[in-house]
């Protein structure tokens, strides 16, 4: 299987790998067929948007880390996805797509594209878990 140089770079030196103690939210997804499991940890901040008098507070991803048990593509996707999500508001992070992640990595073999969905699904789950806790 041939991987792009960027996939190999993220695999060999993953960004944002690890655990956030006392995380504000955690999301986890796995694929029983291939055995990949991804866990996403979030620390959440609040950004003010709009004019001073009408400014609304909006949650954003202040810090993000991941733990992934899986193949090179799964680790690279987790690393790239966390880079893309860091600093984004929840709305922006929810708009990330597998195509954006695959493009950012310089492509993935077609049989490995499903790995990108696990990372996004875990991120979306973490965001939803945070929102449920705040209700």
Clarify whether 115 is annotated catalytic. yes
Kindly state the tokens that stand for 49.
Answer: 């948007």
- Collect all residues with Cβ–Cβ distance below 8 Å to 21 and sequence separation of at least 6: none
Catalytic residue, from 8, 9, 28, 34: name it.
34
Cα distance between residue 39 and residue 47, in whole Å: 25
Q: What is the CATH number of the domain that holds 50?
A: 3.90.1010.10
- Model-level pTM? 0.90
CA 61 from centre of chain: 10
How do the pLDDT tens digits run along the chain, 135 residues long? 799 999 999 999 999 999 999 999 999 999 877 788 999 999 999 987 766 666 788 999 999 999 999 989 999 999 999 999 999 999 999 999 999 999 999 999 988 888 778 889 999 999 999 999 887
- Collect all residues with Cβ–Cβ distance below 8 Å to 98 and sequence separation of at least 6: 113, 116, 117, 120
- Looking up tokens 């939210």, which residue turns up? 25
Cα distance between residue 103 and residue 97, in whole Å: 10
- Looking up tokens 């699904």, which residue turns up? 121
Total number of domains in the chain: 1
How many CA atoms within 13 Å lie on the side-chain side of 83? Answer: 15
Catalytic residue, from 93, 96, 115, 118: name it.
115
Kindly state the tokens that stand for 97.
Answer: 């797509």
Cα distance between residue 41 and residue 24, in whole Å: 8
Q: What is the pLDDT of residue 1?
A: 78
Q: What is the pLDDT of residue 49?
A: 72
Domain range for 84 is 5-133
Q: What is the pLDDT of residue 21?
A: 95
């Amino acid at each position: 299987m041939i991987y792009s140089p960027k996939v190999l770079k993220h695999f060999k030196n993953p960004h944002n790998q690890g655990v956030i103690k006392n995380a504000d939210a955690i999301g986890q997804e796995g694929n029983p067929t291939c055995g990949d499991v991804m866990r996403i940890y979030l620390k959440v901040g609040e950004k003010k948007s709009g004019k001073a008098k009408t400014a609304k507070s909006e949650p954003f991803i202040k810090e993000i880390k991941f733990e992934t048990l899986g193949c090179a593509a799964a680790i690279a996707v987790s690393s790239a996805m966390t880079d893309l999500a860091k600093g984004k508001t929840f709305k922006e992070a929810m708009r990330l797509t597998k195509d954006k992640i695959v493009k950012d990595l310089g492509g993935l073999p077609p049989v490995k594209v499903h790995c990108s969905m696990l990372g996004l699904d875990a991120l979306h789950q973490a965001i939803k878990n945070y929102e449920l806790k705040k209700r």
